[in-house]
Amino acid sequence: MNRKIILLVDDDCDDAEFFKWAMVGTEESFAVKFVDSGDAALDLLSQLDSLPDLILLDAGMPKMNGWELLKLIKQDLRFGEIPVVMMATSSRMKGIDDAHSLGAEAYIVKPSDFDELKQIMQQLCIGVQTDLKSTLADMRSNLPENIYTFN
């Protein structure tokens, strides 16, 4: 069976650990690759034999922030079709609008509750395996304060 790849780009090691714990039990179907910077993400994307099926991208990183990385990914013909979900601790409309205008599939406000994070990650896994856009729309209906989707 060919495992799906999720690339997590987040400079906060604690957040990355939470995301990894939320993915426990999906190892047969998913491989989670983790990098802690925009530069590392671009390097990894260039080296991978198979591109990720989804990129989870933290908005607030030092040096190259998530917005700059999203713009580079979407402008690169090699990576532009990879779905990207932006993540941030803020629900400010500017960030949500920027994610939309730069080509993200959705914007997720990082939950502080682990069970909610686990639910979000499980739903994203289902979406990657089936239909990400409709799964994100369903998630938006169930968690309207945490998930913003774009058509």
With a CB cutoff of 8 Å and minimum separation 6, the contacts of 131 are none
Express each pLDDT in 42-92 by its tens digit. 999 999 999 999 999 999 998 999 999 999 999 999 999 999 999 999 889
Give yes or no for residue 149 having a pLDDT over 90: yes
Closest CA to 9 of 103, 101, 43, 129: 43
What is the per-residue pLDDT for 112? 85
Location of structure tokens 């932006």: 86
Closest CA to 5 of 124, 103, 100: 124
Domains of the chain: 4-149 (3.40.50.2300)
Closest CA to 33 of 59, 2, 54: 54
Q: What is the mean pLDDT of the chain?
A: 92
Closest CA to 19 of 131, 130, 111: 111
Express each pLDDT in 33-44 by its tens digit. 999 999 999 999
What is the per-residue pLDDT for 83? 97
